[in-house]
């Protein structure tokens, strides 16, 4: 992997030129004492020293409400797909969120290629950053392997703790992206230090079970009392899902113009913890209880997707712990309950 170095000042200057160019540039900005992704209108607002953002960057690849088809009612030939048109870059994606994008890439290309996702994805340059501060509830290294973020990233930044970043160039797109910057090849010393700096900030939380042991650990725990206990406190509000960097379930929605001459079909975020999520034909709901829904969510996070895609459906960002108002959604807490109750049974 090619390694470059760039001063912080030079990087900001480079981002400044990007922001004034044709590209949509997204990055992390300060937001009411916390951090959030936003469209950058000035490089000066970019923060790369954030602990964790309110929401994940998945919104730029899989928008909450995304038009996918336009049509005239009654005229099948009028149906035309709607695709993203603008090139974009996301600067400042933590390794966990980057691994989450790698998982989305796999989910949206497995069996069938999702043209809407892939079109947007192909127009996107992803620049990661290794965290410079611990997240309040981060347990990323328990959930992802160090190489997984590189399945999605075009480049990664490493804060060297002085006034510079090392840039790992991962793809040709990443190389092209930084070619207009003042970045120079990294020195041998810089390379050795960069590798150390990548793991300088430790996770706050450690999962007691190894990732590869999670699927067998969850086997046979479908009727465990923890689901009822936590389900009794669940609002079924979807917050754990809407903030999750990996959740990709969606609903379809038609909107007609008042003239009835023109309609748009949208893809909108859905969430398996919402009560109407599993309603099917005839009004039957096969997960009517909150307990069933939160079990299903955790199994998706720690078992099903891992088995299906080889990548975890949870990347340990801890956002669900912050977002869940009654605080029942955090996977490490649920695993602890499962471990504790298991010990009780013995």
By rule CB under 8 A, what string of x and - marks binding of each residue 52-91 to another protein? Answer: --xx---x----xx-------x------------------
Question: Residues near 177 by Cβ (< 8 Å), separated by ≥ 6?
Answer: 89, 125, 127, 154, 155
Backbone phi and psi for residue 83, each to the nearest 5 degrees, phi listed first? -120, 155
Q: Contact between 236 and another protein (CB under 8 A)?
A: yes
Interface with another protein includes 264 (CB under 8 A)?
no
Q: Does 235 bind another protein (CB under 8 A)?
A: yes
Residue 320 binds another protein (CB under 8 A): no
| Distance of closest approach, residue 216 Cβ to another protein, in angstroms | 31
Residue whose CB is less far from another protein, 143 or 244? 244
Closest separation in Å from C-beta 169 to another protein = 31
Burial class (CB in 10 A: 0-12, 13-18, 19+), 32: exposed
Question: Minimum distance between the CB of residue 321 and another protein, rounded to whole angstroms?
Answer: 11
258 is an interface residue for another protein by CB under 8 A: yes
Residues in Cβ contact with 20 at an 8 Å cutoff, skipping those fewer than 6 apart: none
- Please report whether residue 106 would count as binding another protein according to CB under 8 A: no
Q: Does the protein bind another protein through residue 100 (CB under 8 A)? A: no
Closest CA to 90 of 169, 134, 27, 152: 27
Single out the segment in contact with another protein by CB under 8 A; choices: 31-39, 87-95, 220-228, 333-341.
31-39
Compare residues 73 and 185 and give the one whose CB is closer to another protein: 73
246 contributes a contact to another protein by CB under 8 A: no
Interacting residues toward another protein by CB under 8 A: 31-32, 34, 36, 54-55, 59, 64-65, 73, 232-239, 242-243, 253, 255-260, 268-269, 271, 274-276, 290, 322-323, 325-328
């Amino acid at each position: 992997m090619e390694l470059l170095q760039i001063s912080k000042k030079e990087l900001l200057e480079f981002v400044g030129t990007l922001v004034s160019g044709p590209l949509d540039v997204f990055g992390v900005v300060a937001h009411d004492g916390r951090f959030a992704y936003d469209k950058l209108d000035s490089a000066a607002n970019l923060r790369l020293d954030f602990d964790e953002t309110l929401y994940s960057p998945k919104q730029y690849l899989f928008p909450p409400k995304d038009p996918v088809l336009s049509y005239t009612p009654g005229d099948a030939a009028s149906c035309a797909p709607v695709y993203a048109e603008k090139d974009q870059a996301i600067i400042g994606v933590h390794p966990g969120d980057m691994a989450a994008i790698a998982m989305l890439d796999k989910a949206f290309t497995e069996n069938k290629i999702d043209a809407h996702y892939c079109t947007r994805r192909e127009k996107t340059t992803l620049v990661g950053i290794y965290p410079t501060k611990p997240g309040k509830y981060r347990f990323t290294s328990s959930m992802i392997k160090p190489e997984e973020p590189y399945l999605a990233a075009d480049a990664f930044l490493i804060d060297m703790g002085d006034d510079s970043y090392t840039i790992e160039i991962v793809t040709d797109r990443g190389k092209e992206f930084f070619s207009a910057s003042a970045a120079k090849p990294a020195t041998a010393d810089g390379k050795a230090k960069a590798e150390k700096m990548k793991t300088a900030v430790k996770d706050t939380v450690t999962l007691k079970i190894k990732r590869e042991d999670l699927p067998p650990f969850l086997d046979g725990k479908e009727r465990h009392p923890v689901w009822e206990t936590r389900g009794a406190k669940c609002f079924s509000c979807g917050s754990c899902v809407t903030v999750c960097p990996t959740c990709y379930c969606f609903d379809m929605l038609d909107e007609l113009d008042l003239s009835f001459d023109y309609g748009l079909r949208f893809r909108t975020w859905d969430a398996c913890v919402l009560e109407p999520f599993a309603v099917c034909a005839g009004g039957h709901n096969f997960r009517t209880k909150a307990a069933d829904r939160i079990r299903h969510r955790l199994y998706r996070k720690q078992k099903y997707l891992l088995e299906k895609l080889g990548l975890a459906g949870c990347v340990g960002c801890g956002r669900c712990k912050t977002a869940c108002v009654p605080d029942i959604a955090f996977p490490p807490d649920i695993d602890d309950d499962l471990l504790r109750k298991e010990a009780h049974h013995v």
